[in-house]
């Protein structure tokens, strides 16, 4: 069945002909804001949980353990959303709107299936999973309580995060941001109500997050029923097509691996800290604080890459190399300047993050001493993140995957084990900074040398009338 997509406000003309720099700001600023808002889900949870009387540090350590588990759920959302939306964007650039819509509907079905299955798994196996992830004994009950409630709403998390990129692909970055903002505001309101007023503690924090994601999910779903959306739910397109699923997974595997390896790294961090400190919760809580600082800096940079995705994918589909070069150069410069400013603040005032969580004096001292080492390679890492997302938007599945694996699997995880062996717990904190610096340099060199070849090849394909399949 062929389905003709219409839209009240078609944004493709602006993606095709709009002035590059203003368009870059228009697309990326809301995406950056959305990433910062997303950070609020975690930061607010941790801030309130840390204030729980008599058990705040145990609860904070528990959230540090649960974080990589929730990242696994988000990784599957990225697999589909960030794998499908660039494919759909390229199809829009090729004026194949029916093909773009088929990708969207296949992505929707995949998100529902994965959300239900993953939620059931983590609910049933919550206890052995948190133990496997290196949870200190004193924090285990808190971690299990949080995870079981979170898993019940995982399908809403999956749909909210997986479908939002399809709104961004159409150029509606402010709309996408507003739905994320709405969820964040609800989370901020409900957190103290559930945690303290109703006395639910960690369970209240998790419930607030689930409800906020449910609301975001409903708003995002309603967008696709509106006239302005290029993508529509079409029942006849719900049947999974093997070729479409494969194309989504092949490209989405890169952001999936990036998120999963992030999870794996945090598990390794927790295991190494637990072994080298005898299960001292202060060092695990300090790691949670420093990872929060890293997230605070990295999420806006991730937003830059995500915000550029509709511009990059659409113009790549059109074969417009000149606009691509201009847009990528602009966003890289913006990423570097932003990263430099935030990184400088983090190094000058490291205790800022500890104070946000009302951390104990012991935790604050650890954060103050080791944050400079933990973040020393972050500037290169953040530029890498931006370029990595651009590479995914170009449909370069193989190279994007290779670069994603390099930082975490090849460099960081072995380095963490090695440095912990020789330096004890200090090695955990130092490994992040050294790995980020090395991987950032490698990725930047590879990407900047490969982009001209990619652009030239695409221009030739367009001249010859060859459709791009993201190979």
Domain enclosing residue 446, as ranges: 19-463
Three-state DSSP at 282 gives helix
Residue 447 lies in a domain: yes
Q: Chain-centre distance of CA 93, in angstroms?
A: 25
For the segment 381-406, the average pLDDT, to the nearest whole number, is: 74
Residue 3 lies in a domain: no
pLDDT in tens, 70-96: 888 888 998 999 899 989 988 888 889
Give pLDDT, residue 100: 93
| Mean pLDDT for all residues in the chain | 82
Residues 6+ apart with CB under 8 A from 69: 122, 129, 130, 133, 147, 263
Cβ atoms of 363 and 57 within 8 Å: the answer is yes
> Binning pLDDT at 50, 70 and 90, where does residue 318 land?
confident
Comparing 307 with 163, the larger pLDDT belongs to 163
Give pLDDT, residue 6: 45
The yes-or-no verdict on residue 1 having pLDDT over 90 is: no
The yes-or-no verdict on residue 358 having pLDDT over 80 is: no
The yes-or-no verdict on residue 244 having pLDDT over 90 is: yes
Distance CA 332, CA 386 (A): 7
Residue 1 lies in a domain: no
Most confident of the following: 28-32, 107-111, 459-463? 107-111
Q: Could you tell me the CA-to-CA distances from 33 to 19, 40, 143, 307 in Å, in that order?
A: 22, 11, 29, 10
Distance CA 414, CA 408 (A): 9
Residue 13 lies in a domain: no
DSSP string covering 60-124, please? HHHHHHHHHHHHHHHHHHHHHHHHHHHHHHHHHHTT-HHHHHHHHHHHHHHHHHHHHHHHHHHHH
Q: Could you tell me the CA-to-CA distances from 357 to 51, 143, 234, 345, 351 in Å, in that order?
A: 8, 18, 46, 18, 10
Residue 10 lies in a domain: no
Give pLDDT, residue 471: 45
Residue 241 lies in a domain: yes
Most confident of the following: 172-181, 237-246, 253-262, 390-399? 237-246
pLDDT in tens, 191-218: 999 999 898 888 998 999 899 999 999 9
Domain count within the chain: 1
For the segment 127-152, the average pLDDT, to the nearest whole number, is: 87
Q: Chain-centre distance of CA 293, in angstroms?
A: 15
Nearest partner of 294 among 374, 363, 357, judged by Cα: 374
Residue 133 lies in a domain: yes
Residue 14 lies in a domain: no
pLDDT in tens, 421-471: 999 989 998 998 898 888 888 877 887 788 777 777 776 776 666 555 444
Distance CA 298, CA 383 (A): 10
The yes-or-no verdict on residue 329 having pLDDT over 60 is: yes
Give pLDDT, residue 8: 43
DSSP string covering 311-353, please? HHHHHHHHT-HHHHHHHHHHHHHHHHHHHHHHHHHHHH-THHH
């Amino acid at each position: 069945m062929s389905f003709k997509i219409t839209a009240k406000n078609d944004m493709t003309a602006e993606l095709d002909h709009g002035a590059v720099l203003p368009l870059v700001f228009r697309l990326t600023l809301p995406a950056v804001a959305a990433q910062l808002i997303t950070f609020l889900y975690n930061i607010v949870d941790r801030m309130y949980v840390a204030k729980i009387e008599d058990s705040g540090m145990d609860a904070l350590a528990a959230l540090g353990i649960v974080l990589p588990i929730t990242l696994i759920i988000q990784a599957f959302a990225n697999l589909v959303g960030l794998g499908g939306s660039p494919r759909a964007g390229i199809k829009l650039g090729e004026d194949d709107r029916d093909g773009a819509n088929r990708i969207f509907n296949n992505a929707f079905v995949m998100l529902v299936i994965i959300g239900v299955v993953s939620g059931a798994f983590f609910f049933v196996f919550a206890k052995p999973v948190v133990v496997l992830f290196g949870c200190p004994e004193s924090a285990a009950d808190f971690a299990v309580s949080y995870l079981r409630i979170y898993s019940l709403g995982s399908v809403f998390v999956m749909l909210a995060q997986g479908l939002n990129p399809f709104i961004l692909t159409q150029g509606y970055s402010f709309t996408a941001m507003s739905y994320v903002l709405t969820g964040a505001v609800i989370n901020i309101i409900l957190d103290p109500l559930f945690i303290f007023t109703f006395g639910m503690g960690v369970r209240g924090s998790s419930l607030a997050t689930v409800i906020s994601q449910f609301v975001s999910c409903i708003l995002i779903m309603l967008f696709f029923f509106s006239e302005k959306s290029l993508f529509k739910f079409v029942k006849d397109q719900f049947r999974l097509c093997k070729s479409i699923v494969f194309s989504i997974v092949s490209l989405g595997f890169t952001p999936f691996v990036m998120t999963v390896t992030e999870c794996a790294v945090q598990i390794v961090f927790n295991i190494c800290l637990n072994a080298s400190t005898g299960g001292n919760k202060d060092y695990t809580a300090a790691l949670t604080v420093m990872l929060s600082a890293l997230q605070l800096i990295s999420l806006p940079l991730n937003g830059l890459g995500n915000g550029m995705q509709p511009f990059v994918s659409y113009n790549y589909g059109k074969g417009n190399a000149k606009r691509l070069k201009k847009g990528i150069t602009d966003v890289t410069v913006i990423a570097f300047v932003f990263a430099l400013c935030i990184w400088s603040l983090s190094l000058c005032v490291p205790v800022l993050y500890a104070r946000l969580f009302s951390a104990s004096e012991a935790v604050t001292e650890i954060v103050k001493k080791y944050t400079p080492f933990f973040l020393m390679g972050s500037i290169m890492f953040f530029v890498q993140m931006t370029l990595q997302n651009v590479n995914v938007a170009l449909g370069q599945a193989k190279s994007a995957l290779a670069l994603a694996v390099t930082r975490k699997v090849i460099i960081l995880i072995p380095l963490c084990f090695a440095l912990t062996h020789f330096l004890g717990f200090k090695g955990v904190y130092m490994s992040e900074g050294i790995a980020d610096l090395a991987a950032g340099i490698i990725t930047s060199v590879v990407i900047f040398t490969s982009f001209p070849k990619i652009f030239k090849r695409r221009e030739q394909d367009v001249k010859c009338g060859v459709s791009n399949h993201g190979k």
